[in-house]
A and B are shown apart, each in its own frame.
Chain A
Amino acid sequence: MVTLSNVLQSVYWELLDILLFSLGLWMVLGKLKWKQRWMAWIPDLRFAALGQCIQLPREGILVGVMELLSFVLGSAFKGIEAEKLSLLVSLATLILLVLLVVYRLRLYVRLMRIFGMKKGWILIWFLLDWLVLLIIGFGKKFQPVELPKPEDWEAGTAPAEISGAESVHFRPPAESGLSIDLFERTAKDFGKTRYLLKDISLDIPNGSLVLLLGGSGAGKTTLVNAIIGYEKAKAQVTLNGADIYKDYAHMKYKIGFVPQKNLMRGNDTVMQTVDDAAELRLPSSVTTAQRKDRVQEVMDLLGLSAGASGLVCKKSGGQLRRISIAMELVSDPELFVLDEPDSGLDGVIAKEIFSKLRAIADEGRIVIVITHTPDRVIDLFDKVIVLARDSGRVGRLAFYGSPQEARDFFGKESMEDVVMSVNSKEQGGEGLAELYIERYAALAAAAEGGAAT
């Protein structure tokens, strides 16, 4: 039975909750030197303010809208007793509540980072968020670990130190070609941040066939995935002036990537697989006949026509690699990245494939290739990127230049010897990675300084 006193009691509690939360948030925003602190007192809008303040604007707005919606749905739930309607409302409310919890936690986690709080706090955040806000707001112990520059903050812009990627000042990208300025690529490993790549900066002109070298675990695949936006890093990658990360939805169609693994369905035929790939990747303006012709052309080029009707799962390793290449080549990409395209292929077919890649590059495209057997086709390449693991086991740039420059830089005759020189002694190499990383960094800095003067 709903009585007036029950209703008043619940209203009092809700009001108290809102007031305590707003007070805590008002204090926290003050500590962060946020100008529009008054927004902390307006339900729903306060989350938008918090989101703006801690550089999670989308999350802030979403939480605000969801709070409002859940209030409306909650009211509807109380008012409507019919089973039919209450089910709809409860379903929607449940989904909304889950989303609300997730997004609120994202805001709180960011706040915890800013105030250098331990992870254990998350449980209290989850149960009594207003209490934590009051503790942070009034507690002298809790101060922003990375306090923003007041002048920037007062102006309403986000502090670079808090916002993450914005703290890195990327160099101006090249107007044409592929420009890579990677600050770092990290991965979470059981809650700990692990650095995979760091400080890789280079420009690749259009029409280049580039060899990406490095020992096992140096980060070749990670770098490639970062370049193509497949696994984003803290970096700025541009292709002919267009930012791949910022305009990923558009740029992904201009990039062809043949991964290390053969990502295809075993129960489809070879023809179906390549044709499906073509249907996905080619523009809708391409007619079915044109698509079929293109598929046939690529199949012929890669020697797949003979077994076109066979199931993918019945094919050999070499054939699977060729199918993988065909799937990407079918769309004529501007940037074509291949992760070990020649693995499992015999020498003749491998040379044929690299010749074709050379021809693709000669059309003005950039082709980046990772291979473990570069010497048989090294003459085809324009540039060589050498990655090596430093003493902290982080992948870094050890060299970027032409194959001849690489030979001179490392004092080696073959590319396989170059890799051996940067490989660790445990890997059977010479363990000189650190030396070459430093030497190349100095060389690059000198070149940059020379260019600047």
Chain B
Amino acid sequence: MGALIAAIVVFVVGGTLFQYQEGTKLGVFALTCACIWNGFFNSIQVVCREREIIKHEHRSGLHMSSYVLAQMIYQLLLCLAQTVVTLIICSIAGVKIPSAGVVTPWGLLDVGISILLITYTADMMALMVSCIVRTTTTAMTTMPFLLIFQLVFSGGFFSLSGFADKIKLLTVSHWGMDGLCSIGRYNEQPMVAVWNMIVGFKDLDVFGYTPLKDMLIYVEEHGYRDPFLEWCGEHNQLPQFAATVENVLHNWGVLILMMVVFALASVIALEFIDRDKR
């Protein structure tokens, strides 16, 4: 399931991923969403479907922290496998992952760690939901809302302001996207949006002339196109996407912090399991 989702996403947006700023942003957004989707599906039902068993075992002496820790280890292995599969699919689809990493010497490893952290944090969030709700039906009803929340408040495609801009700091997608864009060296990539816009107006007629078309031909013939795209990219740099070790580690750290919070919330929620009544 996870592999299929990753394959669909990567085959659609993988061509321009890590090539141009626009492609990177779109691709990273789609990849992050796929990771979150995978993470959610891994654990959204695992606890609530055996809630009666856990309640019975809790009565027999099972510590909820032990139970959650066991689930965390299992889910980590699952997320690790999904990360490997996603990276294999990326390489099959021809995604050009930067060879040099930001934190480690290998770009593939940096991307892998980011994908793992995004998937695992989403997994922990779903685990928390699974610990809070009592039935699988409720869990599955909650999931789309969580997903929409992650997509809307990621800040990837909707410009957020005010309180909404603060809320995005609480989403896995936001920190995941920032991390992947930093590793993908977004700020060092060319920007094609301005060029494409000009190309869209190339047939604009001005008193019988097409000056934009002539200019575009001139720029291309004299090899000014790539420097122009790079120049555009330089003017579209974003500080949160800077390819620095501090930046990436900050993003990873926040994801790990969220993971810990979700795990603690899971334990706390399960500590009240004895209050369940038929």
A: residues with CB less than 8 A from B are 83-84, 86-88, 90-91, 94-95, 187, 228-231, 248, 252-253, 257, 259, 261, 263-265, 277, 280-281, 331
Are B53's CB and A87's CB within 8 A? no
Are A252's CB and B60's CB within 8 A? yes
Interface residue? B254 (CB, 8 A) = yes
Are A90's CB and B166's CB within 8 A? yes
Are A280's CB and B60's CB within 8 A? yes
25 contacts between A and B (CB under 8 A): A83-B169, A86-B166, A86-B169, A87-B254, A88-B257, A90-B166, A90-B170, A91-B257, A91-B261, A94-B170, A187-B278, A228-B59, A230-B274, A248-B274, A253-B60, A257-B59, A259-B56, A261-B52, A263-B52, A263-B56, A264-B53, A265-B50, A265-B53, A277-B60, A331-B60
A374–B39 alpha-carbon span in the complex (Å): 50
Among candidates A90, A231, A281, residue contacting B61 with C-beta atoms closer than 8 Å: A281
Interface residue? B235 (CB, 8 A) = no
Hey, which chain B residues are within 8 Å of A229, CB to CB? 59
**Looking at chain B's contact residues, is the secondary structure mostly helix, strand, loop, or mixed?**
helix
A95–B268 alpha-carbon span in the complex (Å): 12
Contact with A along B34-69 (1 / 0, CB 8 A): 000000000000000010110011011110000000
Nearest CB of chain A from residue B240's CB, rounded to whole Å: 9
Hey, which chain A residues are within 8 Å of B62, CB to CB? 280
A87–B171 alpha-carbon span in the complex (Å): 11
Are A263's CB and B53's CB within 8 A? yes
A88–B166 alpha-carbon span in the complex (Å): 12
Residue of A88, A248, A265, A280 with most chain B CB atoms under a 10 A cut-off: A280
Are B61's CB and A87's CB within 8 A? no
Hey, which chain A residues are within 8 Å of B274, CB to CB? 230, 248
Interface residue? B222 (CB, 8 A) = no
A95–B278 alpha-carbon span in the complex (Å): 28
Q: With A83-B169, A231-B277 given, is the CB distance from A280 to B57 under 8 Å?
A: yes
Hey, which chain B residues are within 8 Å of A259, CB to CB? 56
Hey, which chain A residues are within 8 Å of B169, CB to CB? 83, 86-87, 90
Hey, which chain B residues are within 8 Å of A84, CB to CB? 250
A417–B56 alpha-carbon span in the complex (Å): 34
Q: With A84-B250, A90-B170 given, is the CB distance from A187 to B56 under 8 Å?
A: no
Nearest CB of chain B from residue A265's CB, rounded to whole Å: 7
Residue of B nearest to A92 (CB): B261
Nearest CB of chain A from residue B71's CB, rounded to whole Å: 13
Among candidates A83, A231, A263, A264, residue contacting B278 with C-beta atoms closer than 8 Å: A231
Are A281's CB and B254's CB within 8 A? no
Hey, which chain A residues are within 8 Å of B52, CB to CB? 261, 263
Are A252's CB and B61's CB within 8 A? yes
Q: A86-B169, A95-B261, A248-B274 are in contact. List 20 more A-B contacts (CB 8 A).
A: A87-B169, A87-B254, A90-B169, A90-B170, A91-B170, A91-B257, A91-B258, A229-B59, A231-B277, A231-B278, A252-B61, A253-B61, A257-B59, A259-B56, A263-B53, A264-B53, A265-B53, A280-B62, A281-B60, A331-B60
Hey, which chain A residues are within 8 Å of B50, CB to CB? 265
Nearest CB of chain A from residue B200's CB, rounded to whole Å: 37
Give me the 8 closest cross-chain CB pairs, A-B, nearest first: A263-B53, A263-B56, A87-B169, A280-B60, A280-B61, A281-B60, A252-B59, A231-B277
Residue of A nearest to B175 (CB): A87
A159–B56 alpha-carbon span in the complex (Å): 35
A397–B59 alpha-carbon span in the complex (Å): 27
Hey, which chain B residues are within 8 Å of A86, CB to CB? 166, 169
Nearest CB of chain B from residue A380's CB, rounded to whole Å: 26
Hey, which chain B residues are within 8 Å of A95, CB to CB? 261, 265
The residues in B between 108 and 127 inclusive whose CB is less than 8 angstroms from any CB of A are none
Hey, which chain A residues are within 8 Å of B166, CB to CB? 86, 90
Nearest CB of chain B from residue A104's CB, rounded to whole Å: 18
Hey, which chain A residues are within 8 Å of B278, CB to CB? 187, 231
Among candidates B59, B258, B277, residue contacting A187 with C-beta atoms closer than 8 Å: B277
Contact with A along B96-111 (1 / 0, CB 8 A): 0000000000000000
Residue of B nearest to A281 (CB): B60
A229–B261 alpha-carbon span in the complex (Å): 31
Residue of A nearest to B169 (CB): A87
A159–B261 alpha-carbon span in the complex (Å): 40
A400–B57 alpha-carbon span in the complex (Å): 31
Residue of A nearest to B52 (CB): A263
Hey, which chain B residues are within 8 Å of A261, CB to CB? 52
A228–B57 alpha-carbon span in the complex (Å): 14
Nearest CB of chain B from residue A148's CB, rounded to whole Å: 27
A259–B166 alpha-carbon span in the complex (Å): 48
Contact with A along B67-86 (1 / 0, CB 8 A): 00000000000000000000
Hey, which chain B residues are within 8 Å of A253, CB to CB? 60-61
Nearest CB of chain A from residue B170's CB, rounded to whole Å: 7
Residue of B nearest to A225 (CB): B278
Hey, which chain A residues are within 8 Å of B254, CB to CB? 87
Contact with A along B232-255 (1 / 0, CB 8 A): 000000000000000000100010
A187–B275 alpha-carbon span in the complex (Å): 12
Residue of A nearest to B166 (CB): A90
Nearest CB of chain A from residue B277's CB, rounded to whole Å: 5
Nearest CB of chain B from residue A174's CB, rounded to whole Å: 24
Hey, which chain B residues are within 8 Å of A280, CB to CB? 57, 60-62
Hey, which chain A residues are within 8 Å of B170, CB to CB? 87, 90-91, 94
Nearest CB of chain A from residue B46's CB, rounded to whole Å: 11
A187–B61 alpha-carbon span in the complex (Å): 26
Nearest CB of chain B from residue A179's CB, rounded to whole Å: 21
Among candidates A88, A94, A230, A264, residue contacting B59 with C-beta atoms closer than 8 Å: A230
A264–B57 alpha-carbon span in the complex (Å): 10
Hey, which chain B residues are within 8 Å of A263, CB to CB? 52-53, 56
Hey, which chain A residues are within 8 Å of B57, CB to CB? 280
Hey, which chain A residues are within 8 Å of B60, CB to CB? 252-253, 277, 280-281, 331
A411–B277 alpha-carbon span in the complex (Å): 37
A261–B56 alpha-carbon span in the complex (Å): 11
A91–B257 alpha-carbon span in the complex (Å): 10
Residue of B nearest to A248 (CB): B274
Residue of B nearest to A221 (CB): B278
